[in-house]
Amino acid sequence: MSLTVVGSVAFDALETPFGKRDKILGGAATHFSLSSSFFTDVRCVGVVGNDFGEEEWEVFRSHHINTDDVEVVADGKTFFWRGRYEYDLNTAHTLETQLNVFETFNPKLSDASKNNRLLFLANILPMLQKEVREQCPNAEFVAMDTMNFWIDSMKEAVIDTIKIVDCVIINDAEARQLADVPNVITAAKKILSWGPKAVVIKRGEYGAALFTADSYFAIPAYPLESVFDPTGAGDTFAGGFMGYLASQEKIDDAAMRRAMIYGSVMASFNVEKFGTERVADLGYLEINQRFSDFKRFTNFEEIPFERANTAV
Amino acid sequence: MSLTVVGSVAFDALETPFGKRDKILGGAATHFSLSSSFFTDVRCVGVVGNDFGEEEWEVFRSHHINTDDVEVVADGKTFFWRGRYEYDLNTAHTLETQLNVFETFNPKLSDASKNNRLLFLANILPMLQKEVREQCPNAEFVAMDTMNFWIDSMKEAVIDTIKIVDCVIINDAEARQLADVPNVITAAKKILSWGPKAVVIKRGEYGAALFTADSYFAIPAYPLESVFDPTGAGDTFAGGFMGYLASQEKIDDAAMRRAMIYGSVMASFNVEKFGTERVADLGYLEINQRFSDFKRFTNFEEIPFERANTAV
């Protein structure tokens, strides 16, 4: 086994300008697991209620995602989120949140989950992320996400967790909020200064950027004309990124750059249908096709300019 | 001679969170000329008043920009714009506009200006852009900009001009407004369908994208920690793009891709100081250094993924 993710498994109700779904499989750990399952063996750590049905388990099972550490609370209900997106799909409005069994989520990692080579701490209470990270002293590469809610209410706890991970995967606005600076480059450098080896900034339709101590890498997003539902795009990106890294013997700058592309590729599929529908249905041919598209549409020849003649 | 630009030459008064300037050289044709002058011989067509002084002419002269077709109205004043930027520098608030001699601007192109190989129609009244374009039947490559004001008030006239140019260089929001669709990829394709061979979408701090009938190219922006003044960044981009193309024998997809990089490089310098201050002071070493930086921070190896083993 090689990758463990800890986070939410949920039901979502979604409204976008293009349609709605009343109750579909969602949650950060779900989107992450599904995406990473194309690249590596993944163990999902989470909690669900007795309303989590055969149809939902089948999505995990059919992608060989190990759910031994997904706790089932017999008398509880699964985390439920209802959201609505405006026309431009950039802002999600939360209409309803029922934490249910997730409110008292206390991740219980089996030895197998603790001993995986890579670990992803999806967006949960920062103190819980820290506890989980400390339970996995042998993990070679640990990444985390977080969100504005924790940055607002307990920034110091978020920073304490950042100090003991290898990589922070975070969106643009949250990076600026966390570092308390308006410039995203400055924000990423400040976050790096707290300890992690890498900071990945997610910019939605504008792409993503990777910062390390001595390297910078940036890519546009995959060009899409039909975006249906952005829910889970960030976790799907993280899943592609970490899943690809788990498949590589050496986690160096070159591998992280390719992982950025695979993350973007997976996220580009995720938004094409509701929830997990598109990624659950993916094949390797499509994945590698979009990877190769990325090469094609970012490629240019490096020819330094020399002025042949001047008007002087 | 090889490149002609038609547009505004102006004085700007600017306030940004980082300082202010009461009266500095500005205008679309100014920023464009200055930027393109590093790559080719450029002729600037515009109009100024009697307040345009030796200091301003010297900026043109020292960069070998031909100003024979910049009309001087003896009893008039130069176009004046006063603007203010908020903390995030993304939105310019116009505080004052004095069109002055620009109100009745009627571009008079000498034969030399008409016969240049490339032509750029900076943001002016679309009917004037069309007239100028028709005066230059031999131009090999004609590009244009426009703005929300004309799209709001005379969209059909803007489209009429687009039909007879080779390339539209426009910002993200304006492309969507012009094509009346929320998705920028769809917007670019719709604009392409009106006739031009290429559409360049400027996305500010998020980079730029190039669309042609059978190719797509996208790049992030140059990563900058200190952005002082975004005024003229779009025209400076266009100047680098068109100036570089003018230096190339063949204006094909590969040349346009490199031109996108040079445009981005020049724009990245423009925003580092007020008005024309930084670009007026540039050298080729710095320009080629940033071009090569672009190669470095967009580079990744194309290695298709193959799953070595699965849990099946």
Q: Quickly list DSSP for B130-147.
A: HHHHHH-TT-SEEEE---
b/e string for B48-80 if b means 16 or more Cβ within 10 A?
A: bbeebeeebbebbeebebbbebbbebeebbbbb
Phi, psi dihedrals of residue B234, rounded to the nearest 5°: -65, -40
CA distance B277 to B211: 32
Nearest to A182 among B88, B254, B308 (CB): B88
**Contacts of residue B300 in chain A, CB cutoff 8 Å?**
217, 254, 257-258, 260-261, 295
Which residue positions in chain B have pLDDT lower than 50? Answer: 310-312
pLDDT of residue B308: 60
Query: For residue range A255-293, what is the model confidence (pLDDT) as tens digits?
Result: 999 999 999 999 999 999 999 999 999 999 999 999 999
What's phi and psi for A229, nearest 5 deg? -155, 110
What percent of chain A has a predicted confidence (pLDDT) above 70? Answer: 98
CA-nearest of A174, A200, A212, A197 to A260 is: A200
CB contact (8 A) between residue B219 and residue A220: yes
* Residue A17 DSSP SS3: coil
Share of chain A above pLDDT 90, in %: 91
For residue B305 the two structure tokens come to 């993924």
Round to whole Å and give the CA distance between A237 and B278. Answer: 38
Dmax (CA) of chain B: 84
Contact assignment for A291 to B310 by CB distance below 8 Å? no
Which of A66, A203, A310 is nearest residue B64 as measured by Cβ atoms? Answer: A310
Whether B298 sits inside 8 A of A66 (CB atoms) is no
CB contact under 8 A, A261 and B288: no
CB neighbours of A252 closer than 8 A, spacing ≥ 6?
A: none
Interface size A-B, in CB pairs within 8 Å, comes to 140
Among B60, B58, B78, CA closest to B10: B78
Positive or negative CA dihedral for B129, B130, B131, B135?
Answer: positive
- Give B203's contacts in chain A (Cβ within 8 Å): 206
Q: Which of B114, B103, B43, B58 shows the shortest CA–CA distance to B79?
A: B103
- Are the Cβ atoms of A307 and B39 closer than 8 angstroms? yes
**Helix locations, B80-199, DSSP H:** 111-114, 126-135, 148-162, 172-179, 184-193
Instruction: Give the residue from B17, B168, B175, B186 showing the smallest Cα distance to B92.
Output: B17
pLDDT of residue A311: 41
**What does the alpha-carbon distance between residue B309 and residue A112 come to, in Å, rounded to a whole number?**
18
Of A219, A284, A312, the CB nearest to B220: A219
CB pair distance less than 8 Å for A218 and B216: no
Mutation pick from A2, A192, A206, A257 vs chain B, by most beta carbons of B within 10 Å, is A206
Q: Which residue of A has its CA nearest to B187?
A: A225
pLDDT at A119 over 80: yes
pLDDT for res A281? 94
Tokens 């601007």 identify what position? B105
| Mean pLDDT, residues A222-249 taken together | 95
A225:B295 CB<8 A: no
Q: Look at the block and give the residue holding tokens 């580092």.
A: B272
Chain B residues near residue A291 by CB distance under 8 angstroms: 302, 304-305
Which residue in this structure is represented by tokens 């996995």? A136
Percent of residues in chain B assigned helix, strand, coil, to nearest 5: 40, 25, 35
What pLDDT sits at residue A308?
A: 60
Exposed/middle/buried for residue A201 (C-beta within 10 Å: 0-12, 13-18, 19+): buried
Test A305 with B262 for CB contact under 8 angstroms.
Answer: yes
Best mutation target, B61, B298, B309, to test chain A (most A CBs within 10 A): B298
| Minimal-distance CA residue of chain B relative to A293 | B216
pTM of the prediction? Answer: 0.95
Bridge partners, A168 (sequence order): A144, A199
Residues of B in contact with A295 (CB under 8 A): 300, 302
> Do the Cβ atoms of B260 and A300 come within 8 Å?
yes
- CA-CA distance, B255 to B198, in Å (whole number)? 12
Find chain B residues with C-beta within 8 A of A284's C-beta: 305, 307
DSSP type of residue B32: H
Residue A1's pLDDT is 59
Phi-psi region of A53 (alpha: psi -120 to 50; beta: other; left: phi over 0): beta
Dihedral sign, Cα of residue A307, residue A309, residue A312, residue B5: negative
**Alpha carbon distance B123, B95 (integer Å):** 19
Which of A214, A248, A298, A299 to mutate to probe the B interface, most B CBs <10 Å? A298
Q: What is the DSSP letter of A205?
A: G
Q: CA geometry: angle at A51 spanning A50 and A55, to 5°?
A: 115
CB atoms within 10 A of CB B83: 19
Residue pLDDT, tens place only, A154-207: 999 999 999 999 999 999 999 999 999 989 999 999 999 999 999 999 999 999
Q: What is the distance between the alpha carbons of residues B108 and B6, in angstroms, rounded to a whole number?
A: 9
Residues of A in contact with B66 (CB under 8 A): 311
Asked whether the CA dihedral B36, B37, B38, B39 is positive or negative, the reply is positive
Q: How far is B77 from chain A (nearest CA, A)?
A: 30
A268 and A221 in contact (C-beta within 8 Å)? yes
Contact B44, B5 (CB under 8 A): yes
Mean pLDDT of chain A: 95
Cα four-point dihedral sign B23, B78, B29, B166: positive
Whether the CB-CB separation of A208 and A202 falls below 8 Å is answered with yes
pLDDT category at A11 given cuts 50, 70, 90 is very high
pLDDT at A310 over 60: no
For residue A229, is pLDDT > 70? yes
Of B244, B238, B224, B1, which Cα lies nearest the Cα of B111? B1
- Distance from A103 to chain B by nearest Cα, in Å? 32
Q: Give the pLDDT score at A312.
A: 37
Of B38, B224, B288, nearest to A304 by CB-CB distance is B288
The answer to whether A44 and A52 have CB atoms below 8 angstroms apart is no
ipTM, 2 dp: 0.92
All residues of chain A having their beta carbon less than 8 Å from the beta carbon of residue B64 are 310-312
Contact B178, B187 (CB under 8 A): yes
Q: Count CB neighbours of B266 within 10 A.
A: 32
